[in-house]
Structure 1
Amino acid sequence: MKLRNKLMMLAILPIGLVIFSIALLGQRLYQSHLAIERYVEIQTNKQEIITSILRYWGYGHGIHHFKNYVLRGDDWYRSQALLDLAKVEDLIDQYMAYEELSLEEKQAMIVLRSTVSAYKENISLAQKALEESRSIRKIDLLVKIDDGPAIESFKMFNDYFRKTKQDALQNYLDAKNDFLSTSIITIVLILGVTFYTSRWFSRSMIKSFNELVQICRQIKSGRFRAKDLEAPTAETTTDEIKYLRHNFIAMGRALEESFSRLKKSNQDLSNFAYIASHDLKEPIKKIANSSDLLYLELERNLDSESKQYFDVIQSSTKHMLSLLDNVLDYSELRSQKFEPENVDLNEAISLCQSDLELAIQSTGAHIELENLPRVKGNPVLLRTMFRNLLSNALQFRRKGSIPKITISAKPTKQGRWVISVEDNGIGFSMKYRDKILKPFGRAHSREQAPGNGIGLASSQRIAELHHSQLQVYSMEGVGSTFSVELEEAS
């Protein structure tokens, strides 16, 4: 049997058992629910009927009107008493219409019906006695009825309905316990069948999977050699595990080739960095030095336009040297590795301020520094990142406005710190947010603000090395906020 068929059977069997069990249990639970619901509905209706009987029987209705008729002889009370007693008889008929009444219920209803009939007969007797002008005392003795049996019937109904509520609760609990016990038995059976089926299938697959594990271990440890392994081609094999083994070997071969290309690419990148730092910088330095010497020799004979040309040459060579230095720094960050250590951000920011002291003094910038935490990271890289962010805030300032820079820290629920650098500079549109975090990405032209477009890209790379991202928020004419999340020091 193919692996696919085995796994399919292994998956379908417990699922089928689960579906069948759920359907069976659901049907039983539904039937129990309907039975309990019907039982509760009938008992509730019966209790409402008894309540109505008691209402039409008692004070303000049947018997009350009957007694008032005896005492006062007013026909209105007689007619109201007859109406109420007729209503009671109608309610008794409704109650007796229910099937499966208990013997106690039937006997109680018979007592109530006979009592109502006695009252109706006594109303006629009272009417005749009143017509004969008998005394109220004699009439009262004539029509007096023993209500004791009826009262006992009402008490019986009160006890009966209390018992039905207990029965309904017990039925619910019995259904619940039955459902739970059946569910447990079903789950045990499903687990048992699944366990033995899985065990039967797994024995036939363990050996092949062990081979795959060995290949994975070889790939992980770097000891994998595709040429040392043989496997049937994907086109000829019909066994899925063998097919998987073939693809594992092919994947290992591809990883070998990719790793080799990656090593060569890293070496080429290192060579490029070396060329950029030496071979490219050296001729530019010569151009700069030669232009300086030539300017010194010809300064007296140069007109203003020629001096401007020399200024362009000098500023361009300086920019080119700065650009090469930045590119070299960024390329070194790509392969940077370090062991994290505890870093005092207050100290790191203080060193950044010392590095940028001239720029801070020349712009009159005001830097507000909150009490910052100690975090895990590389002190040199973190200092570089915050120096870049502070330098950006000083460079991209608004004309006629004193730069105001706030550095704050906010804890997170995950035990990390969000460090933010906020300024009141020229800001930029958020559509440039992704662009400025890439090498040479700019939101403003070089005429608007100086810079090489490498600082923020380097800062983003440093954030990534600290398992974070540089978050950016800015608004044109208002300012910018750069935030990075760092792990709290241990």
Structure 2
Amino acid sequence: MTLLATITVALLAGVIVAGVVALENLESSRARLVDEIDPGLIGAQTLTSALLNQETGVRGYLLTGDRRFLAPYPQGLAEQARAVGQLRDAGAQPGTVPGADLDAVLARAGEWQRLADRWTAPGAPPVGVAQVEQSKAYFDGVREVLDVQRAHYADARADARDGLDASASFLQWMLVVVAVLLIVLFGALYLGFRRAIARPLQKLASEVRAVTDDDLNREVSANGPRELVELGADVEDMRRRIVAELAELKRAQDELQRSNSDLEQFAYVASHDLQEPLRKVASFCQLLQRRYQGQLDERGDQYIDFAVDGARRMQALINDLLAFSRVGRKTGEMAEVDTAKLVGQAMRNVEAVVEETGATITHGELPVVHGETSLLTGVFQNLLSNALKFRGEDPPEVRIEAERDGDDWVFSVTDNGIGIEPEYADRIFAIFQRLHPKSAYPGTGIGLAMCRKIVEYHGGRIWLDTDPPAGHTRFRFTLPVHPGTSRAERTESESP
């Protein structure tokens, strides 16, 4: 392909040189025709007209003897002088054919003019028929050389036109040849480009697409120009790094899954196994409290109260921990559920607190989602309980709303409670984390952690809105719009 391109370029250069020569010939022919032949032909016609005017005037005088007929003669002489100058300027110089023709015309015309000057001079004797015939004979000789001059100019003009046409035709053919050679050259360059760059680049792109389509074990290589080979090597290095990082990420993910599974199993076993001894402790403490209340001193009664309260709180913590560990382990049926009905059930579950606090709970239009009824009800109930628990001086006002954002429903629970500082936005979702002492607000501190686990189990996320309306607290969480995107269903689909 390189040899073909080289030959084509060489031919193209030769054709261009030939075209330049043809263009110069064309310009030379045009200049000769325009600058010499056409002006010379016009000058010859002017000279012929001037001599004919002279002959007309002399013949009229010779025939009539009236000098008034001589008027065209001096005018013709003046025109002759101008015509000769024009012919000299057009190239009729000595040593050239036009120059020789002009000299011949002037010589013959000079002989006739000398006779005419003698016959027409003032005081010259009258002339007769013989002089008229003699004048005609001399002027016929002038006509002959004028005809020769015109013929030479006509032939020169025809030759120049032929040369001009030939040069133009040759130049046109050169343009055609140049066009053909350019097409061949571009074709060769295109084929060379495809072979040297396009095909290797397409191969590299195909291998890269295969890698991006999850065929990460496919090696990427490239041939062709050095830059393309280096690009292929860079892509291969990147693929290997990605494979290594994904393997490390998979290992860490598996380790995290095992760790979470172990923690959940430990929490379940610990909470389940602790139930029986803790019930015994609580039962005996309550028995002591009922049987010996008032029989011990004040400090003894206080100790028994502390033991009973601690046992109850421990039972609550273990029950909460057990419920927390069961999320994702003991699951109910996933189905289409109306979140408005879930909110209604959650409101009934906290009805006593609502009546006690004079709270107002409202909600907008809520969607139907895919999930477990009991778990999602627990999310709304925990958020409502927090809103009612952490209230300010005014009666609680809680508003539940939902709006669609792409493939998610975004729920918001807004209240006019005491608020949460933004720096605690992550801490509040950790298990058993409290921002207030248990003496101020009852509870185990597991409610929001439970909400996060349930929401994530359904394929969503939950967070504290750090920029709520003034004087309000707002929690937001998402649930998928379409079924099949919750973690439970993904787990089921991935199971063998």
* Bucket of the pairwise TM-score, normalised by the shorter protein: 0.3 to 0.5
What is the TM-score of this pair, normalised by structure 1? 0.47
What is the TM-score of this pair, normalised by structure 2? 0.47
